[in-house]
Structure 1
Amino acid sequence: MKGRIAVVLMSLLLVLYLVLMGWRAVLFMQTGEPVGIAIGAALLVLPLIGFWALIREIMFGMHSERLIHLLAEQGGLPLDDLPRRPSGRPYREAADAEFPQFKAEADAEPDNWRVWLRLGLAYDASGDRRRARGAIRTAIALERAPR
């Protein structure tokens, strides 16, 4: 729940930022000076890129959360019995020891979104966030493909 509140708060702050920067951009562009127009254009483009990135992250979070809930309902989530640090993160060595099983499943069934989601969770437990996100994105694409 804390994560959702943070997302809503960040989204509201970004919208406020977009409105304020949009107003400033218009003021800069109304000067008619080349430098003012360039600054105004930058003030319009950069926040829009940030807004696009935020929307992508929100959509990724929603889709991945939906798949995790669906996999949990089906009883397909991997057993989470890894030893953990005081911070709550699993010890990497323990996660790495279980990783080959999930990688082999994904290699054996490359068109199954469930094995890709489990692989993404295994990557995350091993501390490899970039590959975790990639595997989860693959799971999302595979799950949505038949529709």
Structure 2
Amino acid sequence: MGAKISYFVMAAFLVVYFVLVGGRGVALIQQGTALTAALGVSALVLPAIGVWFLWVNTRFVTRANRLAAELEAEGGLPVDELRRLPGGHIDRDSADEVFARRRAETEDSPDDWRCWFRLAVAYRDARDTPRARKAMQRAIALHTSARH
């Protein structure tokens, strides 16, 4: 629950920032000179990109959470079987073992969104965030196409 609260607080701060920067951009454009208009337009571009980025990430997180809820209802969420170091960090060899099993599972069933979801978790546990995100995107796409 703490992660959700943190996400929404950060999103709220970003939205306030986008509104403030956007307001400054509009004020610069209204001054009417070529220089202030150019600065104003550039000030509006950054919040537009930020809003798009926030929207894409929020949609991704929402869809991934739906998959997690569905997998939990089926009893298919991956069990945390990772060994931990004394400081609480995941043992790298343990993460590699679990990852190898998840990868083999996904190779055996490449069209099963559940396998891709579990592979995404294994990537995350191995601290490979870009691949974790791509695997989760694949799980979301497979889940979406299976429903339609």
Is TM more than 0.5 here?
yes
Deviation of residue 22 (structure 1)? 1.8
Aligned residue pairs, count = 147
Q: Could you tell me the percent identity over the aligned residues?
A: 41
Distance in 2 between residues matched to 1:129 and 1:20, nearest whole Å: 31
Where does the alignment leave 5 or more consecutive residues of structure 2 unmatched? none
Q: Which amino acid aligns with 1:9?
A: V
Deviation of residue 11 (structure 1)? 2.0
Which residue does 2:10 correspond to in 1?
Answer: 10
Which residue does 1:122 correspond to in 2?
Answer: 122
Which residue does 1:29 correspond to in 2?
Answer: 29
Which residue does 2:53 correspond to in 1?
Answer: 53
TM-score, normalised relative to structure 2: 0.91
* Match runs of 1:63-82 below 5 Å: 63-82=63-82
Deviating more after overlay: 130-139 vs 24-33: 24-33
- Whether 2:111 is the aligned partner of 1:105: answer no
Deviation of residue 34 (structure 1)? 1.9
Distance in 1 between residues matched to 2:127 and 2:55, nearest whole Å: 25
Q: Which amino acid aligns with 1:125?
A: D
Distance in 2 between residues matched to 1:5 and 1:14, nearest whole Å: 14
In 2, are the aligned partners of 1:119 and 1:135 still within 8 Å (CA)? yes
SS at match of 2:114: helix
C-alpha distance 86-133 of structure 1, shift in aligned 2 (>3 A): farther
Where does the alignment leave 5 or more consecutive residues of structure 1 unmatched? none
- Tell me the C-alpha RMSD between the 2 structures: 1.5
